[in-house]
């Protein structure tokens, strides 16, 4: 019964989405306030209905209702509760439902928090959101319905893949999808602006919080996925340039470009058609990623669904959404008037450089991801495009970008003084030199590029710190005055500082992965291995039973210079239902380095394979990502985004650029 309610709610949601996509759009065209207002209630209703559907499916999972095919295929009564819940989106159908749930959430958020938007713009934005909703609800109902029943119900389900029985599944997909789908709001704003033929500073202010919020969640989502891979894989890999990962990286890169270029639209009323294009492309890349992952066109051995009907359906959705919006762009974008002029050496110029490099970076990832498929389609040879390609193409593009972060953010609007900016960066330069020299000293001239990468990170960090110090006039006015300035600094400025510092920290973590050391040995209980100055002593291995698995739990005492540092417990788990073994690694971190231990198979002679890794700075990769996302959140709390009324009144008049 509850399942049918969910199914019915999903069908109702489709009809509500149909209303949402048509009535407000017509209302905006005819200037009918009543019709326009339908958008808000429809968006809220649609979200509520999808939430009911989501709740119904979750209920079926929690009570292990094995009359639902989706539950049979992906759940088991002996599974712990957390994984019954997160298992809802551990499969194609459920994850698509999560996707539209997030889409509904975004639409409802625009309806609820969009009070400061002009009614016509809001109506059009909600209508476009409704159209996307119609497409994906149709997709779910016709090709991927999670509510289908099986009669008679089997006694138990097939269980969830053991790899997915991890807290990572509970958090990674919701964040990732919220990020992907969140960019649909920027997309809808872009389409609405094209219909209206007007993009101005006020528009940029309305779009910016939405793209910032999506960018933050996508950052967290990608970082979580990477961390999940890191701690599950047993040897500490965290990024593979796999098509599925690239599909999430591309919208992130273009989204990053978008949040930078929309600053230029807001402050200087220029780069308008480019920013609109970025907003369209960011969400389009999310859609293309969905297509690639779920249509089976990629050489992915275990892609979610490889049903050609689904692929064809998503392709039609792609053509309608992307093709439609780009057609609108081709027709309407020439109407958008280019605004303020600026010299190449200026803040705008630096942001244009940022956009150029990010766009090229995204294009590089795109080419690398799709080229094997392209060659195959034209009958060329089969090739693999792996990490060496991306290291040689993507990374060089990011080097100038990182070099430019500091100087770029110190340049003035309109016309900047590059030499002056570089002079003010003397401290950052000194820091970078120190780090490089220190790096060479510690690693005995170790991997040159990695040490230079650390220097680059230091330069970026120093640049962000210098920019902050300049704003606070640190050391030039009394400390108390600087503190007062710090309190009055716009949140957006703080946000930028945090985000750039986070970026620097992530870059340092990535560069330092060249300094990893590893030991792989067969050890008998009582035996020891040495790694990076630590001694790992295998005390013993115990066997036990978990809720739905058996485990071997190794107790390993880590000591340094004779004193015990920690006792860690890596495990290997065997899931009898799926006949699969997984590893639970033990990670000891001090935020400067990770000690990473995993146990493998037992050796017939009574030993165990132990792999231990010492990974300097590796936690910084994710720490930096968290700081980046935090910066985004801080910027999001800037009151500028909320004072809509004043902004609208001012936007109605031609205005000089507000100072930075």
Q: Per CB under 8 A, which of residues 506..535 are in contact with another protein?
A: 520-522
- What angle, 0 to 180 degrees and rounded to 10, lies between the N-to-C axes of helices 2-30 and 92-113? 40
Residues ≥6 apart with Cβ < 8 Å to 184 = 103, 106, 129, 132, 283, 286
Stretch that binds another protein, among 27-35, 50-58, 321-329, 562-570 (CB under 8 A): 321-329
139: number of Cβ within 10 Å? 21
Among 33, 154, 388, 445, binds another protein (CB under 8 A): 388
Q: Cβ distance 561 to 577 under 8 Å?
A: no
Q: How far is the CB of 235 from another protein (least distance, A)?
A: 5
- Does 289 help bind another protein (rule: CB under 8 A)? no
Q: How far is the CB of 381 from another protein (least distance, A)?
A: 6
Radius of gyration of the chain (CA): 27
- Does 196 help bind another protein (rule: CB under 8 A)? no
- Does 598 help bind another protein (rule: CB under 8 A)? yes
Of 233 and 412, which has the nearer Cβ to another protein? 233
Give the Cα separation of 376 and 393 in Å (integer). Answer: 22
- Does 327 help bind another protein (rule: CB under 8 A)? yes
Give the Cα separation of 23 and 16 in Å (integer). Answer: 11
- Does 303 help bind another protein (rule: CB under 8 A)? yes
Q: How far is the CB of 579 from another protein (least distance, A)?
A: 7
Secondary structure of 369-411 in HEC code, one letter for each residue: HHHHHHHHHCCCCCCCCCHHHHHHHHHHHHHHHHHHHHHHHHC
Letters for 205-224 (x = contact with another protein by CB under 8 A, - = none) are: -----------------x--
List helix spans (H) across 425-544: 426-442, 448-472, 479-488, 491-511
User: Can you spell out the DSSP letters for 17-74?
Assistant: HHHHHHHHHHHHHHT-HHHHHHHHHHHHHHHHHHHHHHHHHHHHHHTT-TTBHHHHHH
- Does 409 help bind another protein (rule: CB under 8 A)? no
Q: Which two tokens stand for residue 360?
A: 């090229």
List helix spans (H) across 473-593: 479-488, 491-511
Q: Which residue has the tokens 């969400």?
A: 283
Of 341 and 449, which has the nearer Cβ to another protein? 341
Q: How far is the CB of 333 from another protein (least distance, A)?
A: 5
Q: How far is the CB of 332 from another protein (least distance, A)?
A: 9
- Does 171 help bind another protein (rule: CB under 8 A)? no
Letters for 87-106 (x = contact with another protein by CB under 8 A, - = none) are: ---x----------------
Among 12, 244, 431, 629, binds another protein (CB under 8 A): 244
Among 67, 161, 535, 559, binds another protein (CB under 8 A): 161
User: Can you spell out the DSSP letters for 493-516?
Assistant: HHHHHHHHHHHHHHHHHHHGGGG-
Among 33, 80, 308, 420, binds another protein (CB under 8 A): 308
Stretch that binds another protein, among 257-265, 298-306, 421-429, 435-443 (CB under 8 A): 298-306
Stretch that binds another protein, among 125-133, 331-339, 408-416, 627-635 (CB under 8 A): 331-339
Stretch that binds another protein, among 124-132, 148-156, 318-326, 560-568 (CB under 8 A): 318-326
- Does 164 help bind another protein (rule: CB under 8 A)? yes
Q: Which residue has the tokens 């110029």?
A: 349
Q: How far is the CB of 194 from another protein (least distance, A)?
A: 11
Among 21, 165, 217, 226, binds another protein (CB under 8 A): 226
Number of residues that make up the chain: 660
- Does 228 help bind another protein (rule: CB under 8 A)? yes
Binding residues among 471-500 for another protein as defined by CB under 8 A: none
Among 11, 326, 418, 422, binds another protein (CB under 8 A): 326
CA dihedral angle for residue 293, residue 295, residue 296, residue 299, rounded to 10 degrees: -50
- Does 430 help bind another protein (rule: CB under 8 A)? no
Q: Cβ distance 198 to 549 under 8 Å?
A: no
Q: Cβ distance 49 to 12 under 8 Å?
A: yes
| Number of residues located near another protein, criterion CB under 8 A | 107
Q: Which two tokens stand for residue 47?
A: 């979200």
Letters for 576-595 (x = contact with another protein by CB under 8 A, - = none) are: ---xxxxx------------
Q: Which two tokens stand for residue 180?
A: 């992907």
Give the Cα separation of 139 and 304 in Å (integer). Answer: 15
Q: How far is the CB of 309 from another protein (least distance, A)?
A: 10
- Does 572 help bind another protein (rule: CB under 8 A)? yes
Give the Cα separation of 457 and 507 in Å (integer). Answer: 6
Q: How far is the CB of 470 from another protein (least distance, A)?
A: 25
- Does 647 help bind another protein (rule: CB under 8 A)? no
Angle 333-337-341 from CA coordinates, rounded to 5°: 125
User: Can you spell out the DSSP letters for 328-368?
Assistant: HHHHHGGGSPP-----SSSHHHHHHHHHHHHHHHHHHHHHH
Q: Which of 364, 438, 370 is closest to 401 using CA atoms? A: 364
- Does 297 help bind another protein (rule: CB under 8 A)? yes
Angle 584-627-234 from CA coordinates, rounded to 5°: 15
- Does 570 help bind another protein (rule: CB under 8 A)? no
- Does 242 help bind another protein (rule: CB under 8 A)? yes
Binding residues among 343-382 for another protein as defined by CB under 8 A: 343-344, 349, 352-353, 356, 359-360, 363-364, 367-368, 371, 373-377, 380-382
Stretch that binds another protein, among 120-128, 208-216, 278-286, 625-633 (CB under 8 A): 278-286
Phi, psi for residue 378 in degrees, rounded to 5: -95, 10
* Range list of β-strands (E), 72-148: none
Stretch that binds another protein, among 47-55, 197-205, 509-517, 572-580 (CB under 8 A): 572-580
- Does 156 help bind another protein (rule: CB under 8 A)? no
């Amino acid at each position: 019964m509850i399942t049918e309610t969910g199914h019915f709610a999903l069908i109702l949601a489709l009809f509500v989405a149909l209303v949402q996509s048509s009535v407000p759009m017509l209302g905006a065209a005819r200037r009918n306030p009543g019709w326009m207002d339908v958008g808000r209630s429809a968006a809220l209703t649609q979200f509520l209905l999808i939430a009911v559907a989501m709740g119904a499916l979750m209920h079926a999972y929690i009570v292990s209702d094995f009359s639902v095919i989706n539950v049979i295929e992906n759940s088991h009564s002996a599974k712990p509760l957390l994984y019954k819940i997160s298992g809802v989106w551990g499969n194609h159908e459920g994850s698509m439902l999560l996707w539209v749930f997030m889409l509904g959430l975004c639409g409802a958020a625009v309806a609820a928090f969009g009070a400061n938007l002009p009614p016509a713009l809001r109506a059009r934005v909600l209508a476009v959101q409704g159209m996307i909703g119609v497409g994906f609800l149709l997709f779910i109902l016709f090709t991927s319905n999670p509510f289908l029943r099986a009669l008679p119900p089997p006694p138990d389900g097939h269980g969830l893949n053991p790899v997915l029985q991890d807290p990572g599944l509970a958090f990674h997909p919701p964040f990732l999808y919220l990020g992907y789908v969140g960019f649909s709001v920027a997309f809808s704003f872009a389409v609405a602006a094209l219909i209206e033929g007007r993009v101005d500073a006020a528009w940029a202010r309305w779009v910016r919080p939405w793209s910032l919020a999506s960018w933050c969640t996508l950052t967290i989502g990608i970082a979580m996925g990477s961390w999940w891979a890191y701690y599950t894989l047993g040897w500490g890999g965290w990024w593979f340039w796999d098509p599925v990962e690239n599909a999430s990286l591309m919208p992130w890169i273009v989204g990053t470009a978008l949040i930078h270029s929309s600053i230029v639209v807001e402050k200087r009323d220029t780069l308008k058609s480019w920013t609109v294009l970025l907003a369209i492309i960011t969400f389009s890349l999310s859609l293309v990623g969905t297509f690639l992952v779920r249509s089976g066109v990629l050489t992915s051995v275990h892609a979610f669904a490889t049903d050609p009907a689904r692929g064809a359906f998503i392709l039609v959705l792609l053509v309608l959404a992307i093709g439609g919006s780009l057609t609108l762009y081709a027709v309407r974008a020439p109407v958008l008037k280019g605004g303020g002029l600026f010299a190449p050496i200026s803040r705008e110029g630096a942001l244009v450089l940022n956009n150029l490099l990010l766009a090229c970076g995204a294009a590089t990832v795109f080419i690398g991801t799709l080229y094997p498929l392209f060659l195959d389609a034209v009958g060329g040879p089969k090739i693999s495009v792996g990490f060496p390609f991306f290291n040689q193409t993507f990374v060089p593009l990011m080097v100038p970008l990182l070099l430019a972060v500091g100087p770029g953010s110190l340049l003035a609007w309109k016309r900047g003084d590059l030499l002056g900016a570089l002079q003010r960066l003397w401290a950052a330069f000194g820091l970078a030199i120190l780090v490089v020299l220190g790096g060479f000293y510690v690693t005995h001239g170790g991997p040159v590029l990695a040490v230079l990468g650390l220097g680059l990170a230091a330069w970026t960090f120093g640049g962000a710190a210098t920019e902050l110090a300049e704003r606070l006039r640190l050391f030039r006015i009394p400390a108390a005055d600087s503190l007062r300035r710090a309190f009055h600094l716009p949140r957006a400025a703080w946000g930028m500082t945090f985000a750039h510092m986070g970026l620097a920290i992530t870059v340092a973590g990535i560069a330092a992965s060249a300094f990893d050391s590893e030991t792989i040995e067969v050890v008998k209980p009582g035996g020891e291995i040495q790694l990076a100055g630590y001694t790992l002593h295998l005390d013993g291995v115990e066997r036990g039973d978990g809720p739905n698995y058996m485990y071997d739990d190794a107790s390993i005492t880590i000591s340094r210079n004779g004193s015990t540092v920690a006792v860690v417990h890596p495990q290997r788990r065997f899931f009898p239902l799926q006949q699969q073994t997984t590893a639970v690694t033990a990670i000891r971190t001090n935020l400067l380095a990770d000690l990473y231990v995993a146990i493998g198979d037992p050796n017939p002679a009574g030993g165990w394979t132990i792999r231990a890794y010492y990974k300097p700075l590796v936690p910084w990769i994710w720490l930096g990502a968290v700081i980046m996302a935090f910066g985004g959140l801080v910027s999001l709390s800037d009151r500028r985004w909320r004072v809509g009324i004043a902004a609208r009144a001012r936007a109605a008049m031609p205005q000089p650029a507000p100072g930075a």
